[in-house]
Amino acid sequence: MTPEEDRGQRDRGPSLSRALLQDLREARRAQTLKQDFRQIYRFYVDEEGREKLAAMGRVKRAFVLVFWILKSMLLKLSAGRRLAVFIALLLFLVSRTVTMNLAGREVQIRSYGLGLWSFIILLVVFMLELKDKLLARDEIAVARQVQIALLPKEHPQPPGWSLWSVMQPANDVGGDLVDYLPLEAGRLGIVLGDVSGKGLGAALLMAKLQATLRAFAPDCASLGELGCRLNAILERDGLPNRFATLFYCEIDPASGRVRYINAGHNPPFVVRPGGIEDLKASSVPLGMFPDSVFTEELVDLNPGDMLAVYSDGLTEARNVSEEEFGETRLRAELPGLAALQPEEAGRRLAARVEEFIGTAPRHDDISIVILARRPSRSPRRGLTAP
């Protein structure tokens, strides 16, 4: 093949034959198919349905499961496509061999036409669904670029402190919020929030929460007041069954005092030479009730102490056996990370979770913020992009 031909082949896109050969070479294809079937089961059958299936016998469960998945799939299609799939299934069922007696001879007539039309109808519906998915993927790609632009571009390093964070969405975009807010008198605001749900809807609500927090934080006399104002906005403008957990703290670099609010978020851990302290939630999540009260709390970080904040996607990360990483494993990891720089500690913790997940699909966004009070060192900049 000449260089011009090779260039023309690349311009036309990937070769179908090469793609199929690569699929056949995939070492974990059987395991991948098993994971795909598990995802189909979890997507089309709700928790109540799974409990009912578990109480059935094996044979009955198999037939009922096929029926429920087919019914759920049809209900998720648009009206026109649902009718088309239903017609295709009817054509497939009546597409069979018919024996007729013609002039004293038995003649078999196969209704190939019906089966062919069934295939064509299903192929057209598949093409339309794929088209919609590709268009949505292009829009989500733009949303991902916007979300990356909203992340802080560098990690502030106040004198005597070290700070690092990461946000890894489960999908192309996520509902976790990681941000830093420079405040007056050298103070620094640090936020880790988690909007319920995943995907584009959670990402849009996360952007609203970030903008509201940046607007209100500098002017609020107390963090309790800040929580009330954030809650009022999200409760007024939010969606039903959508809320956000939030851990927001402000550090005073000189004194080591940290004031914070924990609105329904996972308890961050303060790792000290003598043990681990929980910063438990003192308020409900934002956006749930209009009259919620939020309480400001205080904690002092001494030289050598480390604060680890995380989203529930970390502790709820599951492996192929559906086992969660859990708070117990996280607690066991933290003492060995306390002597490390925050970036190294955070990366090691993230790698440990990745190792635990293995080939299992991600179920939720994972975010980590590591803050340590140490002697001043050279800044480490650059946020890990999702």
Residue 293 has pLDDT above 90, yes or no: yes
What count of other Cβ atoms lies within 10 Å of the Cβ of residue 339? 13
Average pLDDT over residues 318-331: 92
Residue 255 has pLDDT above 80, yes or no: yes
Residue 333 has pLDDT above 80, yes or no: yes
Task: Kindly state the tokens that stand for 68.
Answer: 């429920």
For 107, list phi and psi in degrees, rounded to 5.
-120, 130
Residue 171 has pLDDT above 90, yes or no: no
On average, the pLDDT of the chain sits at: 83
Of 22 and 268, the one with more pLDDT: 268
Residue 313 has pLDDT above 60, yes or no: yes
pLDDT of residue 331: 94
List CB contacts of 287: < 8 A, sequence separation 6 or more. Answer: 231, 234, 235, 238, 242, 243, 244
List CB contacts of 306: < 8 A, sequence separation 6 or more. Answer: 270, 271, 334, 337, 338, 342, 345, 370, 371, 372, 373
Q: What is the distance between the alpha carbons of residues 299 and 175, in angstroms, rounded to a whole number?
A: 27
For 142, list phi and psi in degrees, rounded to 5.
-65, -40
**Class of the 153-373 domain?**
alpha beta
Q: Summarize pLDDT for 97-110 with one digit per residue, the tens.
A: 555 555 666 555 55
Kindly tell me the burial class for residue 363, based on how many C-beta atoms sit within 10 Å of its own C-beta (0-12, 13-18, 19 or more).
Answer: middle
List CB contacts of 120: < 8 A, sequence separation 6 or more. Answer: none
CB 177 within 8 Å of CB 192: yes
pLDDT of residue 321: 86
Residue 385 has pLDDT above 50, yes or no: no
What is the pTM (predicted TM-score) of this model? 0.72
Average pLDDT over residues 297-320: 94
Tell me the pLDDT band of 10, cut-offs 50, 70 and 90: very low
154-164 exposure pattern, b = at least 16 Cβ within 10 A, e = fewer: ebbbbeebbbb
> What residue ranges do the domains of the chain occupy?
3-144, 153-373
Residue 376 has pLDDT above 60, yes or no: no
C-alpha distance from residue 274 to each of 305, 306, 384 (Å): 10, 12, 31
Q: Summarize pLDDT for 119-131 with one digit per residue, the tens.
A: 899 999 999 988 8
Tell me the pLDDT band of 386, cut-offs 50, 70 and 90: very low
Q: Summarize pLDDT for 11-60 with one digit per residue, the tens.
A: 555 676 776 676 666 555 555 667 777 778 888 888 888 888 888 888 88
Q: What is the distance between the alpha carbons of residues 246 and 37, in angstroms, rounded to a whole number?
A: 35
Of 235 and 381, the one with more pLDDT: 235
CB 367 within 8 Å of CB 166: yes
What's at 32, amino acid-wise? T
